[in-house]
Amino acid sequence: MKLKKLDYAINQYLDDKISLGKSSEIAGISIWEMLDELHKRNIPLKYKISEAELEIEKLLKKYGRSK
């Protein structure tokens, strides 16, 4: 079942329907595991600056730090 979720999430990501972060949520894995999976499958990273900024903000919030 997890493999189907992963495949679905990757396909949605490749079709530009969801972000990298959202694809990892759908697949039920961390963003780092998703990056590893994309690398294993030789899928290039499509990461926008705005997505990186959002991820950084989430991490800062999570760990109680601010800009």
Query: pLDDT tens digits for 32-60?
Result: 899 999 999 999 887 778 877 887 888 88
Q: Angle at Cα 23 formed by Cα 18 and Cα 26, nearest 5°?
A: 115
Is 22 a domain residue?
A: yes
Has residue 67 been placed in a domain? no
In a domain, 21, yes or no: yes
- Specify the pTM: 0.68
Does the residue 37 lie in any domain?
yes
Mean pLDDT, the chain, rounded, equals 87
* 28 within domain boundaries: yes
CA angle 8, 9, 14 (to 5 degrees): 100
Sequence-distant (6+) residues with CB within 8 A of 54 are 21
The two tokens of residue 55 are 């991820």
Residue 7 lies in a domain: yes
Within a domain: residue 47?
Answer: yes
Query: Which tokens belong to 41?
Result: 């499958």
pLDDT value at residue 51: 74
Per the structure, the complete domain to which residue 9 belongs is given by: 2-62
Q: How many distinct structural domains can be found in the chain?
A: 1
Asked whether residue 24 is domain-assigned, the answer is: yes
